[in-house]
Every structure is written in C-alpha cells, then in structure tokens.
Structure 1
Amino acid sequence: MRRTASPLSLILLGLGVFLLVLAPMLAWYVEPRAKRTPVDIDTITVFKGKGSYFDTEKIKTVRDKNLTITRQVRGDVDDSNSDHAVWDVVTSVDPDKSLPAADPHDSLQFTTERWVTDRETNKPVHCCDEKPYFEGEAYLKFPFDVQKRSYTWWDNTLGATVPLTFRGTKKIQGYEGYRFTAKVKPAKTGTRMVPGRLVGQPKRSNVLAEEWYANHGVELVADKRTGRIIYAAIGPRKTLRAPGSDKDATVLLDSQRIAFTPKTQKAQVKLADDDSSRLKLVGETLPVGTSALGVLLAIAGGVLVIRGRRSDSGAQGPGGPGSAADPGGPNTDTSPTALQPTTM
C-alpha cells in the first residue's frame, strides 16, 4: 500500500504558504486602508504665551499680558464617511481675566470653523457646509507619511496658503518629528468701522479702518508617519490702519510666540505614538514577521514532505511490496501454471 505525506508536514507547508501570501496583503492592502483621518476625534489643544491685546474696557492696547489660545476639534461622525472627514473646530483667544470663559463668546476672539478633508490625502473637500473655503496641504494635521519637503499651510486669519519650509527634525517630549517653519508678511485682511481716534483721526467719529495681519513666525512639528501635529507655535499680529495708510495705528493682538503647553505636547505625542505604532505594526512589523515565519514553516513542511516520500520509496525495496519475497509481486519466480490450470 502506497504511503502519503504526514498531516503535520502538509499543515506546516500550507500554513507557510498562507503566511507568505498574507504578508504582502498586510503591507499593500491593509496598511493603506488603515491610513485614514479619524472621524470620531475629540481633542483640545492649548497654546500659551505673552503678548499685547486691545482691552475694550480700557479702550487701549495693554502689553505684556498672558494670552491663551484654546482649540477644540470634534469629528462629525454623521456627516463623515469612508472618503472624507468632517471636523468642527472652535477656537478662542483669552487674556487671564476671561478665563475660564463661561461662554466662549466672552473671549477676546472667538471663531467656529468646519473643516472637510479627504481621509487619505488630507486635501480639502468642498462640501458639507465647510467653513471657511480653504486650500493647501496642511491645516490641523499633515498628510500621512510626511516628507522632507515644503508644504502649503492654510492660514485662516490670512485667508490664504503659506509655504512651510522643512527644517529638519526636532524632539518634543523625547519624541522626534519633522519641523517646519514659516513667516507671514503684513497683509490687509478686511475692514472694520471704528472710532476715528483709534486710527489717528480724532476729528472723525467713525472710520472704515483697514485690518492687517502678519505672523512673526510659525513652527510646526509633525509626526512622520501619521502627520499629527505634536508641537505648534505661532506669532500672530493683528492691527488697524487708517484707510490707505502704511502704518499700524492700533494693535489688536500681538505676540512674538504662543505655543503648545507641555500638557498639550504630551497628549499629542501620546496620540501620535499610539497611532504610529499601530500603523507600523500593520505595515512593517507584521509583514516582516509573517514573511519570516512563513518561510520557516514552508521550508519545514517541504522537508517533511520530501522525507515522507523518500520513506515511501525505501518501502519499495527488498522486503517491500513487489520484492522477490512477495508472492503477489510482479517478479515472483513461481509460474502461473503452477497456481492455476492452463487455458490451452
């Protein structure tokens, strides 16, 4: 009777082949689909720094005061889908006296925004009541797999994109990311009706003053794999000018640097590290480990199969089926006529 390979050898061989097929699927199919901007996000980031602002009670600019920027980002799960993410963003700017603000509208500045982006590329998607209309590549985050190149960053106060220049790497709370910087030159962003004395025209009761904006410096540090911003610092300057003037008359807000607090840095780093580790597991660790294990199992299974076949071959030799000692074999010396009558 012919023997077959053992069940163990076939199991090992089959499992090895399965793992070898699974490995590239993890790297080329599963991981790219895991790189999607989350839609169930709910985070708060806080910036702190020193600066000047226009005090509406004193009707003048006060200087060297503590300033806090608080930004809350919530994903709109109902309006998001597999292709695009919808995030509602609330940002407030406060001096110490308006903290904690019972109503965000009591803040020095208060804005609401609605960001809609492609979950894979991070490019803007113009739908779902987006506010404002925006362009560029980087906003509240960078695209996945951040590259060592310049990116266009959307500055909502400016209402336009700003080029971000790659400046190497920087460690935030011991975690390394890619560093980008930019500056924004003074630009007119709108108009506002104000008392004439605020823009150097005291004889006029009201003047349609020009609003100007600049930024002393933008610094962003992004996680290489996920694009999550783990550190941010800005230097906003908002002023009023008389119509047609090239000089600032009143400072509304000015700070050389307002940056993520240490608490926010730690929280952002933890989120980035967790997300990055999961993507690395699916895209690198598991494919490499699965490939290595698949090769070992396939080799082990193949060796056992070959050995099993050799054993079967050996069983066909002396003493095996078909040998001279086997009376039923084809090489028997006994004549058929000795066992059965002739038909002749």
Structure 2
Amino acid sequence: MRRSASPFSLILLGLGVFLLALAPLLAWYVEPRARQTPIDVNVTTVFTGKGSYFDADALAVQDDQDITVTRRVLGDVADSERGGVAVWDVSTTIDTPKTLPLKDPRKALQWTTERWVTDRRTNRPVHCCDETPSFEGEAYLKFPFGLEKRGYRWWDNTLGATVPLRFAGTKKIQGYEGYRFTGTVKPTRTGTRQVPGTLVGRPKQGQVLAEEWYANGGIELVADRRTGRIINAKIAPKKTLRAPGARRDAVTLLQSDGLEFTPATQREQVALASGDSGRLELVGETLPVGGGAAGAVLAVVGAVLAARGRQRPVRPSAASAGPGPGAVRPGAEPVRPSG
C-alpha cells in the first residue's frame, strides 16, 4: 500500500494558508488606508432653534425667533489629490425668518466661508492650499478616527481659537450610539466693529469702535467612535457689542440657548457614520479575526488530511508475478514427451 494527498486536502490547506496571509494584510495594510478623511464630500448640515438677533432694519433686538444655521461642506478633489490632504470648502449661513425664504447667503444675517485643510489620517490641520483662516486643534467639522475617552481641542471659528472639550460618556442619536463631548466658552472679546454711538449707549459720539464679545453657554458634540463623524451638534452661542472699555453688553447681535442638528440632519449623519464605521469594522476587525481563525482551522485540517493521504492497493509487476501454467518449478524434473 502507498499514500498520496487527495486534491480536497490540498485545497483546504491552500485556502487556509491564503486566509492566514490575508488576515494581517487587511488589518495592517487595507484598514489603515481606509481610515482616511474623504475628499469627495458634499454634505449639508442644518441647525435650528429659538433665539434672539439684532434686526438692522428695525434697529431693535427680535426675541424668541427661529434661527437656522446651514453649513455646506464641499470637497476640493483636485487640490486634495495634488497635495495628499483633505481640502474642504465650507459655507455657513445664519438665517432668520426674514432671510431664510430668500435662499441667498448674501442676504443672510451672517455668512462666512472657510477653507479647511487637514491631514487625511490624523485630522490635524495642514497649513497649505490657500487655507483660510488658519486652524488649530484636533477637531472641527469632524473628530479623528478611533476616538478615545479623553478630552479634545475643538476649533471654534467664532472665537478664533480652540476650546477644550471633555469626554462626557456616550449618547444615542436616532438609536445610534456615539461618544459625547462637552465644553463652554466664557465671554471673550473677539474683535471690533464701527457702529453708531447711540447703539452702544454713546449718543454724543457719532461713530464708535464697539467691542465684539462672544460666549458659548454649552457645546455638545456626539461623534462616531470609529470614524469621528459628528452625528449631532448642539451649541448655545451669544454674540454682543459693548461700548469701548465697557464691562456690560450693550446690544445682543445673536443669542440662543440651543441650536441643534435637525432630525433630518441627524439621520443623514448617522447613516453616513454607520456605513463608514461598518466598513472599517469589516476590514479592520471582522475579516482579519474571522479569516485568520478560519484559515488556521482549514490549514490544520488540510495538513492532517494531506499527511494521512489516501491508501491505494499496489499492483504486482510482471517480475514479481507467480509462475505461469507452463513454468518449471525449481528442483522438479522436466517432463519429457512420450514416444
């Protein structure tokens, strides 16, 4: 009897070795390349809430009004590919019930444009590609990949500086759980603006260089753990004017106790985060672990079957065959023909 490996055992062995080689490739090569900030983004997020604002036409503060903040992020693919970074152009409008129906950013209560450039892997600012303004910190439109349960520095564009956020546990948005981060901004002078003196309590002065002050009573950001995508944001901004050197606010430009993502924006952000997170989990955890375990089992089974082989009977050769019908046995007298 002799042994030879069956095709089935060789197939199992080969498949097991392939899966064992594929597992680390997915975890160490494919997944890190998948953990990159996308460059072909086109996302619009909307905040809504009640608040107050200064109506320049009526020269009066309008209280308990609907405030809408619309932010559109559009990726600059050409500049991103050329620089190896993520280049996002950002347009943000703040609208009141009077300006929202006009759907014209030039007529909004406030309109700002920004150009945000980050490292696609770390999410840190990269100062190139006509970035404006110059950003710092670890988070703004998104958090880094692989969030940790620690504090992060979030860039507040109105403040023009970073705000420390602390980890505040987890929170579910539209049934999807994310990491919650909170912070506040104390009243801070952010600039100056030339206005009529009567507006800030200086009626005897024609024009004054009023001080702009900003505060934020409550920042709450909920982000997906794997991708860093913000699935809900809530802010409580307050922008005021003060007379030069004054210690009290004279005019409220904008104030709200809570501007938050609309339910529609939450659902869209959750869907995007869930899809991206699922793909990262698949190539970074599920396939490497499952494929590695399956590969080890298949390789062992295939090797065992190949070692045992398949027993086949050995056919005798002509040289080893027994004597034929006319053969003379050794030591026997030959048979002589009679007559």
Report how far residue 5 of structure 1 moved.
1.7
Match of 2:62 in 1: 62
1:7-38 C-alpha deviation (Å, 9 max, x unpaired): 32222211111111111111121111100000
Aligned 8 A contact 1:117 1:123 in 2: yes
The corresponding residue for 2:52 is: 52
Structure 1: gaps (5+ residues)? 328-333, 336-344
Structure with more contact order per residue of length (Cα contacts < 8 Å, sep ≥ 6) = 2
1:71 matched residue in structure 2: 71
Aligned residues: 323
Post-superposition CA distance 1:87-117 (Å, at most 9, x none): 0000000111111333201000000000000
Which residue number corresponds to residue 157 of structure 2?
156
Residue 119 of structure 1 aligns to a residue whose secondary structure is: coil
Q: Match of 2:171, SS? A: strand
Greater mean alpha carbon deviation, residues 28-37 or residues 296-305: 296-305
TM-score, normalised with respect to structure 1 = 0.90
- Quote the Cα distance in structure 1 between the aligned partners of 2:57 and 2:309: 93
Q: What SS is found at the alignment partner of 1:79?
A: helix
Q: Alpha-carbon deviations, 1:32-61, whole Å to 9, x = none?
A: 110000000001100000111000110111
CA distance in 1, matches of 2:233, 2:78: 29
Return the offset for 1:291: 1.4
Alignment map for 1:193-204 (pairs within 5 Å): 193-204=194-205
Equivalent AA in structure 2 for residue 241 of structure 1: R
Q: RMSD of aligned C-alpha atoms? A: 2.0
Looking at structure 2, the residues matched to 100 and 274 of structure 1 have their Cα atoms a distance apart, in angstroms, of 33
Distance in 2 separating the partners of 1:250 and 1:62: 11
1:240-281 C-alpha deviation (Å, 9 max, x unpaired): 111111110111001111000111101100000010001111
Determine if contact 2:3/2:308 at 8 Å carries over to the other structure: no
Matches within 5 A, 1:242-281: 242-281=243-282
Aligned to 2:19: 19
Residue 5 of structure 1 corresponds to 5
Shift of 1:4: 3.3
Alignment of 1:1-344 (within 5 A): 4-81=4-81, 83-308=84-309, 311=311
Q: CA deviation at 1:292?
A: 2.4
3-state SS of the aligned residue for 1:97?
coil
Q: Percent identity of the aligned residues?
A: 66
Task: Determine the C-alpha separation between the residues in 2 that align with 1:174 and 1:236.
Answer: 27
Deviations, residues 109-146 of structure 1 (Å, cap 9, x unaligned): 00000000000000000000001101000100000011
Moved more, 265-274 or 95-104: 95-104
Q: Give the Cα separation in 1 of the matches to 2:200 and 2:29.
A: 60
The alpha-carbon deviation at position 300 of structure 1 amounts to: 2.3
Q: Residue by residue, what CA displacement relative to the aligned partner does 1:56-93 show, whole Å, maximum 9, x if unpaired?
A: 11011111111000000000001002731000000000
Q: Is the CA contact (8 Å cut-off) linking 1:196 and 1:205 kept in structure 2?
A: yes
Of stretches 218-227 and 26-35 in structure 1, the one that deviates more from structure 2 is: 26-35
Letter in 2 for 1:257: G
In 1: Cα distance, 2:210 partner to 2:112 partner: 21
Instruction: Indicate if the aligned counterparts of 2:217 and 2:257 stay in contact, CA closer than 8 A.
Output: yes
1:341 corresponding residue in structure 2: none
Letter in 2 for 1:135: E
SS for the counterpart of 2:4 is coil
CA distance in 2, matches of 1:51, 1:8: 72
Whole-Å separation in 2 of the counterparts to 1:160 and 1:203: 35
Deviation at 1:286, TM superposition (A): 1.0
TM value normalised by structure 2: 0.91
Q: Distance in 2 between matches of 1:122 and 1:320?
A: 75
Shift of 1:190: 0.6
**For the structure 1 residues 325 and 67, does the alpha-carbon distance in structure 2 shift closer, same or farther, using more than 3 Å as the test?**
same
**What SS does the corresponding residue of 2:195 show, helix, strand or coil?**
strand
Cα distance 1:21–1:320, how it changes in 2: closer, same or farther (>3 A)? farther
Answer with 99-108 or 15-24: which moved more: 99-108
In 2, the alpha carbon distance for the partners of 1:19 and 1:274 equals 25
Superposed displacement of residue 297, structure 1:
1.7
Instruction: Tell me the SS of whatever aligns to 1:80.
Output: helix
Q: For the residues of structure 1 that align with 2:2 and 2:98, how far apart are their CA atoms? A: 92
> Structure 1 stretch 137-146 or stretch 13-22: which is displaced more?
13-22
Contact 2:45 2:70 in 1 (8 A): yes
**1:111 and 1:283 mapped to 2: Cα distance?**
38
Give the 3 Å change call, closer, same or farther, for CA 320–153 of structure 1 in structure 2: farther
Return the letter of the residue paired with 2:189. K
Q: Distance in 1 between matches of 2:48 and 2:72?
A: 15
